[in-house]
Structure 1
Amino acid sequence: MDKLAILIPAYNEAQTIEKVVKDVQGVIENIPGSVVYVYDNNSKDNTAELAKKVGAVVRHEYAQGKGAVIRRMFREIDAEAYIMIDADDTYPVEAIPEMYHKIIDRQVDMVVGDRLSSTYFEENKRPFHNVGNSLVRGLINFLFKTNIRDILTGYRAFSYRFVKTFPVLSRGFEIETEMSIHATEKRMLVENQVITYRDRPEGSESKLDTYGDGLRVIKTVINLFRSYHPFAFYSVFSSCFFLMSMILFVWRVILPYSADHTVPNFPSLIVSMILLVLSFITFFSGSILGAIQTNDKRNFELALIDAENQEKVLKND
């Protein structure tokens, strides 16, 4: 079991990978048992060769996407603490020791490298990325009642408990959103750590698709809200159906009936009753799924205990 595993997902990062690996090695030399892992994700340049040349342990993930890479990392590597950092040389490696000690000494489950509270908006030259980061942060903190200050950062530290109980479902860059919400919903200890951010060096290109990845992130947020808070999610639709039913019933049925004691709008009566039935169906669907989600939370606590016991066994070995 490694003491500290540095996880670097990489795709076509030949320009910066050597510098990132060397910088990381320089700050972890005082942490015995540390290993730098570079996971190459079908790079078309010599990223893997350069990383191996400077001493990183290079492995490959052939399913394309950052989510697929992280799934492979989390499954294959056992460590007391993990730190994930991007290979594009935009994050300060000097923050690694402090993040590591938060995981080991304070039993934090996830440390979030917070770019947005420092230099991100000055350094980042893509205005829509700035807007998107702020929008996603506000949306998630509102829906999930949390205070994570940088939802989409790729600079994070994790405990063994988090890594071995996190179900990786996303394949792309929305994985960071999934991590943030999972930690919040499972009541894991999360801390923000303000870091400085610098934009990519000239000639290095971002792999992000501003609009495509942005839409996928929003979709992920909605799906996760539905999964973790089904009663609240379906109650919104139930309330809308009920309100539409009552408005239609009063306007097209009750008011005409009170005027001449006849029901001239039978189609409106039928539609209002259908909407009322849909309201009840969605309400009870949310109630049932909410009960299932409560049971899932109990099962997760048992899985967390198993992960902690497995960590103790690995440490003793």
Structure 2
Amino acid sequence: MSDLGRVAIVIPCHNEEHTIGNVIRRFRQELPGATVVVADNASTDETAVAAWKAGAQVIFEPRLGKGEAVRRLLADVDADYYVLIDGDDTMDSRVAPEMLRLVSDEGYDMVVGKRVTPAGEQDVYRRGHRFGNGFLTWVFQKLFKLEITDTLSGYRVLSRRFVKSFPVSSAGFEIEAELNAHAAVIGVPLCEVPARYVSRPPESSQPKLSTFSDGARILRRNLRLFRDARPFLAFSLLALPWFIFAALMIQLSLEEFFRNGEVIRSPRLLVGIGSFLVALLLWMAGMIMERITRNRNEIIRLAYLAIRGPLRRPKIVTMPRHDATSRRHD
């Protein structure tokens, strides 16, 4: 592990006293020498004590929300590689070394643990959650053109330069969507690794993700991230129905003018002109925000490039040398 660099296993937790100890022990077994840091996110049970007894460092984040805990972890923990995992003991720790290898040896900045349920155990993944994850993944893929098949997985390995150039702004379960959007905006190399997903232990706390309220919040976050990442396209789509309505109203008014020599229904013409102005303003706002967004993305990209990449030994391919002297004599 010393040759690999500093590895931090960061775990956001809220009321996971029955499972956090096992999570820490299993990941320390797979990644010996890694530092384990748990963010106790306003827990009302003995999560912090259980994490400390299992050998983890514990920091406290009083603002409730997974995004708040992840923000604190990524800001306060200094490492070369970050293993981000939930504290509910549902993910397979055995794939962590392979995920870490893909970052350290292959140069990926984000590796996502794709949740896979064993045959005959599909019921561990609640039907509502399965549908919601599939729908939100489809929405994200269409908006950002990023080929991730499990966009809401909380199991990830991240490089230092990805983490330290990531401006976290979400407070809740939208954090995964924000990680994905950051990867799409700056164009980092990423991949997925299948990871076994099992049901929560019987003694653990109840699932904290609400199928409908959190699902709606994540969907809104995806749309806002799309607006912020590609404002010209987003505002052009908003302007399109206004433009179509304006064209229809103006066309009807012109037909009336050519038929009667005057516009009898003048309010219709005024509505058409007003709708056209709204569409024009939306389109212009998109153009202005596109320029601002490009400047912002360039700053984030420069911050990303200013940090050493994840490869511990960059792979350099040596091309065969051609003997120029022998070529001259031929």
Q: What TM-score, normalized to structure 2? A: 0.88
Residue 261 (1) aligns with residue 264 (2): no
Query: In proportion to residue count, which structure has more helix?
Result: 1
2:189 partner letter: L
Letter in 1 for 2:7: L
CA RMSD of aligned residues (A): 2.0
The answer to whether structure 1 residue 248 and structure 2 residue 249 are counterparts is yes
Rg bigger for which structure? Answer: 2
Tell me which residue corresponds to 1:58.
58
Q: Which runs of 4+ in 1 moved over 4 A?
A: 116-121
* Residue pair 1:121, 1:130 contacting (<8 A) in 2 also: no
1:12 to 6, 15, 27: 15
Counterpart of 2:232 in structure 1 is: 231
**Cα gap change, 1:107 to 1:49, in 2 (>3 Å):** same
Q: Distance in 1 between matches of 2:266 and 2:119?
A: 63
Q: Report the counterpart of residue 115 of structure 2 in structure 1.
A: 115
Task: Report deviation, 1:305.
Answer: 2.8
Query: Where does residue 192 of structure 1 map in the other structure?
Result: 192
SS state of the match for residue 172, structure 1?
coil
Unpaired stretches in structure 1, ≥5 consecutive residues: 313-317
Identity of aligned residues (%): 34
Aligned to 2:278: 278
Contact preservation (8 Å) 1:117, 1:194: no
Q: Which residue of 1 aligns with 2:130?
A: 130
CA contact (8 A) 1:117 1:149 kept: no
Secondary structure in 2 aligned to 1:9? strand
Residues of 2 paired with 1:97 and 1:160: CA distance? 17
How many residue pairs get aligned? The number is: 307
Look up the match of 1:21: 24
Letter of the aligned partner of 1:238 in structure 2?
Answer: A
With over 3 angstroms needed to count, the CA separation of the structure-2 counterparts of 1:120 and 1:9, relative to structure 1, is: farther
**Letter paired with 1:302:** L
Q: CA deviation at 1:250?
A: 1.5
Aligned counterpart, 2:316 = none
2:117–2:198 CA contact under 8 A, matched in 1: no
Do the aligned partners of residues 18 and 293 (structure 1) sit closer, same or farther apart at CA in structure 2, a change above 3 Å counting?
A: same
Pair 1:94 & 2:99 matched: no
The amino acid of 1:220's aligned partner reads R
* AA aligned opposite 1:179: L
Secondary structure of 1:308's match? coil
Q: Distance in 2 between matches of 1:237 and 1:19?
A: 49
Aligned partner of 2:315 in structure 1 is none
Shift of 1:126: 2.1
TM-score, scaled relative to structure 1: 0.92
Distance 2:224 2:119 in 1: 31
Give the C-alpha shift of residue 189 in structure 1. Answer: 1.0
Q: Give the distance between the partners of 2:49 and 2:298, measured in 1 at CA.
A: 45
Say if 2:173 and 2:214, in contact at 8 Å, map to a contact too. yes
Q: Which residue of 2 aligns with 1:215?
A: 216
The alignment partner of 1:151 has SS state of coil
- How many angstroms apart in 2 are the aligned matches of 1:276 and 1:299? 35
5+ residue gaps in structure 2? 313-330
Answer whether contact 2:117 2:125 (CA < 8 A) is retained.
no
